[in-house]
Amino acid sequence: MDALLKLDATELATQVATGAVTALAATQATLAHLAATEPKVGAYLSLDHAGALLAATQIDTARKAGKPLGPLAGVPVALKDNLHVQGSPTTCASRILKGFVAPYDATVTARLKAAGAVILGKTNLDEFAMGSSCENSALQQTRNPWDVSRVPGGSSGGSAACVAARSAFVSFGSDTGGSIRLPASFCGLVGYKPSYGRVSRYGLVAFASSLDQVGPFARSVRDVALALKVTAGLDPLDTTSSAQPVPDYPALLARDLKGKRVGVVREYLDKLPNRQVANLCQAAIARMQALGAQVVEIKLPHADFGVQVYYVVASAEASSNLARFDGVRYGLRVPADNGIRAYFSTRGEGFGPEVKRRIMLGTYALSAGHYDEYYGKAARVRTLICRDFDQAFAACDLIATPCAPFPAFKAGEKSDPLSMYLCDVYTIPASLAGLSALSLPVGFDAGGLPIGMHLSAPAFHDDKLLSAAHALEQDLHADQSLQLDRTPSL
């Protein structure tokens, strides 16, 4: 592997800025490595070789001319294929968007370009971000770089797999109920779901508008902090984005946890069937205590209803958001002898089984006579879950739980929808409450598969969460026995 690919994004950007490394060399090395790993991993749906090399060349020219460079100048970045990049296809890994080319940049895309990031291409996902394994893609199968017989997690599986495979330094995905954090756990990465409203959703193809957030994958917390600093902030094009000031996240990273209170839901760890996951999380919590944190037991009594609430709320919002895909204005159009038949035929052939399942579930939950019974009740329980977190955060500053109930599973192993839905049992509650949350690698199981721990903090306490995660990360990496610096042997 080229030595450049062993750098994290922060170090690469520093070396590009000083001229120690050229953006072109970093991009060429990444593209060459990508060409070797993609046949095994299948993370990307589309690549822009020419655009990436041109952007890298322009960065090097600007540096030689003495012009200021952005904080991500020369860093190769990948984007989940539900984020628009002007002039590039946006497929959402669905047949129904066949031939669609994005007419504008998502706000995240525009901010990354302004920061000097080199956009390599678009990554695979579960169709319309609906899934937990990346097996629902209608276009291709993405595999986990740590074991190609296993899934990378979903829905942002391609975005996780490309960073784990070193075919991008940073990637961006979307997280509705765990779609960044679960793949990060399965692929041994830091995956960050910002507070709801912290990052603009403009140019993100909507799944569930009250839950969706765009966030980064990276190999270190400091890279995540840098990526969040670049992309966070008010966007007049997204009315749900927050006007709260954006802190200098990288500058606020700490090396200890003195004075921090870490909440632990004891039942989660005691009842977790996979004891390797439970033991690694318990060991990481003990390290937090050794770094100065006070560990306190908390209760989240309504979190057990999180999966049920999520699949009513998210499906209801999906049934509304996906009504726009009608075969009339863009994408796939199946010919028929009248407009109504064309509409039904297009949606019938264009959407995959999981998307259809959620549209039907959501439409039923919103239908006359059932709205109060399902959607209304789910909304009320969501409020109770939010109150549980409010009460918990009165006693602690952040909450530590497992991220996934198990390591990455084999492709095809979870064929029924319910077992797949339960993959997100620990990540969904934080999404329903709009919290800041992340998955942090804490070790490997006996088979060499990565394990992540879930950390969450109150909304717009992203700086405090990243700081705590960085302190724990530094301590974990100092223990050579954990081998957290090793990479997949592709």
Nearest to residue 129, comparing CAs of 90, 195, 81? Answer: 81
Q: Is 80 one of the annotated active-site residues of the chain?
A: yes
* 442 located within any domain: yes
Is 280 inside any structural domain?
no
Q: Compute the distance between CA of residue 205 and CA of residue 32 in angstroms, rounded to an integer.
A: 30
324 within a domain of the structure (yes/no)? no
Q: Over pLDDT 90: what percentage of the chain?
A: 96
Residue 323 banded pLDDT, cuts 50, 70, 90: very high
Sorting pLDDT into bands at 50, 70 and 90, what band is 1? low
CA distance 187 to 190: 9
Task: Give percent of the chain with pLDDT exceeding 70.
Answer: 100
Residue matched to tokens 């259809």: 356
Q: Would residue 156 count as lying in a domain?
A: yes
Domain containing 90 equals: 3-263+395-482
pTM above 0.95, yes or no: yes
∠118-120-126 over CA atoms, to 5°? 130
174 catalytic? Reply is: no
pLDDT in tens, 139-188: 999 999 999 999 999 999 999 999 999 999 999 999 999 999 999 999 99
Q: How confident is the model at residue 127 (pLDDT cuts 50, 70, 90)?
A: very high
> pLDDT band at residue 459, thresholds of 50, 70 and 90?
very high
Q: What is the pLDDT of residue 264?
A: 98
Q: 235: alpha, beta or left, given left = phi > 0 and alpha = psi -120 to 50?
A: beta
What average pLDDT does the segment 60-64 reach? Answer: 98
Return d(Cα 446, Cα 432) in angstroms, integer: 33
Q: What pLDDT, on a 0 to 100 scale, did the predictor assign at position 339? A: 85
Instruction: Choose the weakest-confidence range: 106-110, 339-343, 452-456, 484-488.
Output: 339-343
Please compute, for residue 192, the number of CA atoms within 13 A of its CA located in the half-sphere on the CB side. 35
In a domain, 299, yes or no: no
- Mean pLDDT confidence for 82-103: 98
Residue 259, pLDDT > 70, answer: yes
On the question of pLDDT at 113 being above 80, the answer is yes
Q: Compute the average pLDDT of residues 60-66.
A: 98
- Does residue 17 contact residue 69 with C-beta atoms inside 8 Å? yes
pLDDT of residue 415: 86
Find the catalytic residue in 155, 171, 319, 456.
Answer: 155
Whether 2 shows a pLDDT value over 90: the answer reads: no
Phi, psi torsion values for 244, nearest 5 degrees: -60, 140
- Looking up residue 449, the CATH number of its domain turns out to be 3.90.1300.10
Within a domain: 294: no
Task: Please give the average per-residue pLDDT across 250-272, as a whole number.
Answer: 95
> Does the pLDDT at position 40 exceed 90?
yes
Position 248 in a domain: yes
What pLDDT does 255 receive? 87
- Give the sign of the dihedral formed by CA 177, CA 182, CA 184, CA 190: positive
Average pLDDT, the chain: 97
Give yes or no for residue 371 having a pLDDT over 80: yes
Alpha-helix residue ranges (DSSP H) falling in 367-427:
377-393, 417-421
What's the structural domain count of the chain?
A: 1
Give the confidence band of 134 by pLDDT, cuts at 50, 70, 90.
very high
Query: For 329-358, how does the pLDDT look when each residue is reduced to its tens digit (9 = 90+)?
Result: 899 999 998 988 999 999 999 999 999 999
Task: Please identify which of the residues 167, 179, 200, 319 carries the catalytic annotation.
Answer: 179
φ/ψ (deg, to 5) at 414: -110, 90
Tokens at 237, concatenated:
């094009």
H or E segment at 170?
Answer: strand 170-175
Residue from 80, 113, 229, 464 carrying the catalytic annotation: 80
Among the listed residues 37, 4, 38, the one whose alpha carbon sits nearest the alpha carbon of residue 23: 4
What is the C-alpha to C-alpha distance for residues 223 and 452, in angstroms, rounded to an integer?
17
Question: What is the mean pLDDT of the segment spanning 70-94?
Answer: 98
* Residue for token pair 């490394």: 21
Give the pLDDT confidence of 409-444 residue by residue, as tens digits.
Answer: 999 999 889 999 999 999 999 999 999 999 999 999
Tokens linked to 78: 């990948």
State the Cα–Cα distance between residues 281 and 269, nearest whole angstrom.
8
Question: Which residue, chain included where needed, has tokens 């952040």?
Answer: 398
> Is 195 considered catalytic here?
no
Determine, yes or no, domain membership for 459.
yes
